[in-house]
Structure formats: C-alpha cells, structure tokens
Amino acid sequence: FLTDDLVGSLDKLDKSNIATLDIVEHYYDTIFDRVPWVKEDREKIKQHQILVDSQKENCYLLQIFTKNLFGPIF
C-alpha cells in the first residue's frame, strides 16, 4: 500500500495480524550515517523494522515487506 506516513500507518498496523519481515538490528547501526536526512523518528523506524534506502541526497525511500501471507505465488 502507499502512504504519506509509513510510521503512523505501522503504528496502526501493529494492532493487526499482519506480520512484517524481521530486520537484523545491525542494519540500523550504519543506515542513518549513510542516509542522514531521514526526517522520521529513528527509534520508530527501528521499532517498526522499516528499511531505508537512498540514491541521492535529501531523497529517500522507507519500505517494509510482509512475511509470507499466502504461500508461494509462482
């Protein structure tokens, strides 16, 4: 789904049965050094296990992935 507020959406999603992929804590040791312009609460990003990516300054992508919900698709 698309949202303007991933952290807020995940706060609400926590109350559902939808499980997201577990991200190793080590991932967050360096990501904010590599992408320092992230505006969202970094502790919430860690809590919700949000992935952060960027290819240019002041532009970044926040994303999550669900655990397998339906079994193999292909």
Report pLDDT digits (tens) over 11-46: 888 778 888 899 999 999 999 999 999 999 999 999
Assess if residue 41 is contained within a domain.
yes
pTM of the predicted model as reported, rounded to 2 decimal places? 0.82
Assess if residue 69 is contained within a domain.
no
Backbone angles phi, psi at 20, to 5 degrees: -100, 160
Share of the chain above pLDDT 90, in %: 62
Mean pLDDT (the chain) is 90
Assigned token pair, 72 = 């193999």
Question: In terms of residue numbers, what domain contains 58?
Answer: 6-63
Assess if residue 10 is contained within a domain.
yes
Number of structural domains found in the chain: 1
Helices marked H in 1-74 — which ranges? 6-13, 28-34, 42-47
